[in-house]
Amino acid sequence: MISTVVCIVCPVSCEVKTDWDDDGVNKIENNLCRLALEYVEGELFDPRRTVTTSVPVDDGDWPLVSVRTDVPIPKAMLITAMDEITGLRVSAPVKTGDVILADILGTGANVVATREVAAKDE
């Protein structure tokens, strides 16, 4: 098959022309760096995304804390992952990097806080 994949590894965003089949990528063209091949292979055979959202905080000086997965998860699992995260609540204080949910959906990815939320009293 022939496809065009926009590589987002660097700011150039090359439109990489790709010849591929079920066995892998046979050829790529129009890439300006060597990083494109790994990115294209990932997008074609195992697309992954980082989940970013927010979770309510009880007794915090902010009502929400921003969270994300610490590693990308399979793209096909994004909706199910969001369903898991939707029911979460945490109590203040929350520190950057705190694990809010470990090993989401058995992916090995943890949902971690990306900011601090102090308790109201602090």
Mean predicted lDDT score pLDDT of the chain = 96
Contact predicate 105/77, CB 8 Å = yes
Q: By mean pLDDT, which of 24-28, 60-64, 93-97, 118-122 is the weakest?
A: 118-122
Tokens standing for residue 30: 């129009």
User: What is residue 122's predicted lDDT score, i.e. its pLDDT?
Assistant: 56
Residue 28: in which H helix or E strand, if any? strand 24-29
Quick: pLDDT tens for 50-81. Answer: 999 999 999 999 999 999 999 999 999 999 99
Q: What is the Cα–Cα distance from 96 to 105, expressed in whole angstroms?
A: 22
User: How many Cβ atoms are within 10 Å of 72's Cβ, its own excluded?
Assistant: 16
Tokens standing for residue 86: 């939707």
Mean pLDDT of 2-28: 95
pTM of the model: 0.85
Contact predicate 40/4, CB 8 Å = no
